[in-house]
Structure 1
Amino acid sequence: MANTKGVMRPLVNFPEDLWCDRFLSLPFNNSEFESYTKQVEAMKETVKDMLVVSTTDPMEKMHLVNSLCRLGVSYHFENEIEEQLNHLFITLPKLLDDNDYDLHIVALVFQIFRFNGYKLPCGVFSKFQDGDGKFKEQVMGDVKGMVSLYEASHFRTNGEAILDEALDFTTKHLRSLANQSSTSPHLREYIENALFRPYHHSMQRLEAKLYISFYEKDESRNDILLNFAKYDFNRVQLLLQQELTVLSR
């Protein structure tokens, strides 16, 4: 048996904890948390009614679902969203055939369904291509459509050449648009955020914070959704801060 007496082992000098004890001192305002919670609960039924009410234009529901997801509040309505998507997916082929939807709508529908696990074929974008399989130049003027197509292209699977082309096409032209002096700061920020990190690649809370700031400046915004998202974001932020404090003890 080896003699271990007198063996000197080197001491390891670990660096100080980067975060120290800053999370231990995070204040938790319970009355503020309860206030946000009451606001969220009071508005939740109103938003739910917006989601389940009948409408003559199914694409209004898709816009609403998209806003709920990007604002970070879709988790409140998972069952209702699933029900709406199930119903719409059945009627979608006829809707796309009977209506001349623009690129933004088609790309938005595509990414919502793909994100939620529906196998929507990428052929829905073929009407925006010319005979050589290239995207038509006129779609470059639809900035929202270009951003939506760029984000939709990240849901491509192996062998979907149309989405490979969409990624190359939108990346090139969106970078050009972002560098043009005629592009408004609001729109430039929207483009740059999408190019830096597509929505579904981002952390949900971070994306919600960014999108709330963008949505607030959108003239077509729904103020009920905006306020609901703000209250919910603040409520969840307080809750996460409290959890960090507990875990740091």
Structure 2
Amino acid sequence: MALNLNILSIPSYSSKAGFIHHRSLPQRPLTHQSMISSNIKCLQTTHSIDDPTIIRRSANYQRSIWDFDFIQSLKSDYKWETYKSKTNKLEEEVRHRFNDDGTMRQLLGLLELIDDIERLGLGYLFEEEIKKTLDTIMCMEDIKESLHATALRFRLLRQHGHEVNQDTFNHLKDEMGNYMASYFADVNGILSFYEACHLAAEGENILEEAKQFTRTVLKGMKDNIDSNLEKQVNHALELPLHKRITKLEAELERGDALKSIQSYMYETGASEDMAREQVGHMIDETWKKMNTDVIKNEFLLSQPFIKTAINLARMSLCIYQYGDGHGVFDDENKNRAESLLFEPIPLLMDA
């Protein structure tokens, strides 16, 4: 049996003179089904109103240290006119070295100059000079005066998008296909070769084999070299130059297992060492794909865009290589950020 419910009217706003009037609705029988439906709606409404506010889980992020007062407190002693004049003078001296005919005949010295400039993060000041020089070197014969020279030429040319064949290093092997022992004693050359191998593209097995070979050799000789060179070797083994943020030189230590490593251990039952090796392999393969894209540049992307994309990958490694460098900002991460963003490169003033 249906129940009759008289709904007389509901308020409605009239656009005429801004009056509110009541609009009559037709009478409608209220059935048992509609009553159940109405009760459900009422229960849902009451439930959502009475329930307390749902609080989202906190990620426990620490409060940022980069507040307004801290940023305002940053100062530089190198903003005065004396230092500006010294800086301009040094820039001109470097440009003169690029344009000096005698320097052009000493190709290794010129390559080392470019390498030093880019390691300091100053490549943007000499983009035209670097490009012109590398374009010229690309058209010249390979430098085979030393392993260091060959590897440095290969790495710098590849970093700037030139197609250099991996066969460049074939002369380092004997007739049996093994690397000649005469190169083993050249620590600087082996280190340069190791750094160059990280610019391998997809399918370049010669460079992949050489990377494993040079890594093994460097591990074996690092305890028998001077302290400065040992520091360079340890740094390269920990994070190769191609994957490193320029200008940033941190004393780097192995930290807690990353979430990606923990996830791989959980999913596969692998040990931490095996998980680290696998994740490292995945990272290397991704870098090879990026190196391939840089060399081919099928979409004709500009060099500034390419450099930005590569630097994003480098920054990711810098932040997350040893844990959550974004959410957990300890003293080490703070020092690295300050070194990269705020601390200037010291200038040696004339006496």
Q: Does TM, normalized by the shorter one, top 0.5?
A: yes
TM-score normalised by the chain length of structure 1 = 0.74
| Aligned alpha-carbon RMSD (Å) | 2.7
- Aligned partners of 1:11 and 1:118: how far apart in 2? 54
Equivalent position of 2:148 in the other structure = 104
Assess if the C-alpha contact under 8 Å between 2:155 and 2:196 holds in 1: yes
- Aligned partners of 1:8 and 1:234: how far apart in 2? 47
Structure 1 position 238, deviation (Å): 5.3
Between 1:51-60 and 1:127-136, the stretch displaced more is: 51-60
- Aligned partners of 1:90 and 1:68: how far apart in 2? 22
Residues 208-240 of structure 1 show CA distances to partners (whole Å, capped at 9, x for unaligned) of x78xxxxxxxxxxxxxxxxxxxxxx9896258x
- Aligned partners of 1:104 and 1:64: how far apart in 2? 14
Assess if the C-alpha contact under 8 Å between 1:72 and 1:205 holds in 2: yes
**Pairwise mapping of residues 73-152 of structure 1 onto structure 2 (< 5 A)?**
73-91=122-140, 93=141, 96=142, 100-152=144-196
% identical equivalent positions: 23
Report whether the alignment pairs 1:18 with 2:63. yes
Instruction: Select the structure with the greater relative contact order (CA < 8 A; seq sep ≥ 6).
Output: 1
Structure 1 position 50, deviation (Å): 1.2
**Pairwise mapping of residues 172-187 of structure 1 onto structure 2 (< 5 A)?**
172-178=216-222, 180=223, 182-187=224-229
Structure 1 position 87, deviation (Å): 1.4
- Aligned partners of 2:118 and 2:211: how far apart in 1? 22
Q: Structure 1 residues 31 and 89, CA, compared in 2 at 3 Å: closer, same or farther?
A: same
Equivalent position of 1:9 in the other structure = 53
Assess if the C-alpha contact under 8 Å between 1:103 and 1:146 holds in 2: yes
Output the amino acid matched with 1:117: G
Report whether the alignment pairs 1:42 with 2:89. yes
Equivalent position of 1:244 in the other structure = none
- Aligned partners of 2:186 and 2:244: how far apart in 1? 24
Task: Please identify the structure whose Cα radius of gyration is greater.
Answer: 2
TM-score normalised by the chain length of structure 2 = 0.54
Structure 1 position 43, deviation (Å): 1.6
Assess if the C-alpha contact under 8 Å between 1:146 and 1:174 holds in 2: yes
Structure 1 position 195, deviation (Å): 0.7
Equivalent position of 2:108 in the other structure = 59
Where 1:77 maps in the other structure, the secondary structure is helix
Assess if the C-alpha contact under 8 Å between 1:113 and 1:120 holds in 2: yes
Stretches of structure 2 that go unaligned for 5 or more consecutive residues are 1-40, 252-337, 345-351
Equivalent position of 2:342 in the other structure = 237
Residues 118-149 of structure 1 show CA distances to partners (whole Å, capped at 9, x for unaligned) of 01111111111111222111101000000000
Structure 1 position 41, deviation (Å): 2.4
Q: Structure 1 residues 23 and 170, CA, compared in 2 at 3 Å: closer, same or farther?
A: farther
- Aligned partners of 2:146 and 2:208: how far apart in 1? 20
The structure richer in helix per residue is 1
Provide the aligned length of Structure 1 versus Structure 2. Answer: 209
Where 2:69 maps in the other structure, the secondary structure is coil
